[in-house]
Structure 1
Amino acid sequence: ETVNVLQGSKLAEAITYSVNQKASLSAFLEDGRIELSNNRAENKIRPFVIGRKGWLFSDTTKGAKASAIVYSIVETAKANKINVYMFLFYIFSKLPGIDFKANPSLLEDFMPWSQKLPDYCRNNQ
């Protein structure tokens, strides 16, 4: 059935966006690991989003990107039941001495889901 929508309206923009993003918006149908909603992720970052205006280091694009990276690392560690403090201690002490440009696959060993993490990172927050 065809529906007439006023060109340039917000509804027309939403429909155009949906059509253009069809592959991304329907990815959860092909992979059961993908959640239907990103509500859980949004709830995890809400405290940071609310507080960001008060943080001076986030008033630039570089500061905001750095914050996003740190929050992603911390929340991913939490989601994998990793002790955040010990995990950060571990990666910040080991990563500077590793040449990832020469061997990018080494980075996988430092992910929160890696079985190569030391036991002291796994003592469940």
Structure 2
Amino acid sequence: IEKRIEALPPEEKARQRQQLAQPVLNDLKAWLEKNRTRVPRDSLTYKAMQYTLNQWELLTGYLADGRLHISNALAENAIRPFAVGRRNWLFADTPRGAKASATVYSLIETAKANGLEPFAYIHHVLQHIGGASTVEEIEALLPWNVTLSKLQEG
């Protein structure tokens, strides 16, 4: 269902989800409620079924808003570099060094989230930050305010 509707605008995506996915999810919920009593309460299967039912509202929340994704894979992929680098960060010599690293990582991931190539974005910022003398000029360098055409202009 998600593959078929991925290119639709958010309002239509939500409508299609409610029409197509809601019945499937309703069947799943009914099946879980009926069958959880058929497995031992101390089994992993029972725990998984009960967890799914306990989280049902969160699991189905994406149906109402076409801007939401069915999966959190995008968020997990965005934080993966932090999880991989966590051990290296233990060796930040000072709190200031750790804060600087966190700032740079945050800026890079925010650039990615805004569709910017990180190296080109950082290069753009370094070229223009020295001439920024007002809050507005600095805010214009934030990832959500920079466009690719600006990056290509240099």
TM-score range, shorter chain: 0.5 to 0.7
Distance 1:75-1:120 versus aligned 2 partners, 3 A rule: closer
Distance 1:34-1:49 versus aligned 2 partners, 3 A rule: same
Distance 1:120-1:12 versus aligned 2 partners, 3 A rule: closer
User: 2:78 and 2:44 mapped to 1: Cα distance?
Assistant: 29
Number of residue pairs aligned between Structure 1 and Structure 2: 95
User: 2:47 and 2:85 mapped to 1: Cα distance?
Assistant: 31
Q: Which amino acid aligns with 1:118?
A: A
TM-score (norm 1): 0.53
Q: Percent identity?
A: 38
Aligned-residue Cα RMSD (Å) equals 3.9
In terms of fraction of residues, the more helix-rich structure is: 2
Give the gaps of 5 or more residues in structure 1. Answer: 91-116
By how many angstroms is 1:19 displaced? 0.9
Correspondence 1:17 to 2:51 = yes
SS of residue paired to 2:112: helix
Moved segments of 4+, more than 6 Å: none
Measured against aligned partners, the alpha-carbon deviations of 1:76-120 in whole angstroms (never above 9, x if no partner) come to 33212353574xxx8xxxxxxxxxxxxxxxxxxxxxxxxxx4157
Give the gaps of 5 or more residues in structure 2. Answer: 1-30, 93-97, 130-138
**Rg larger for:** 2
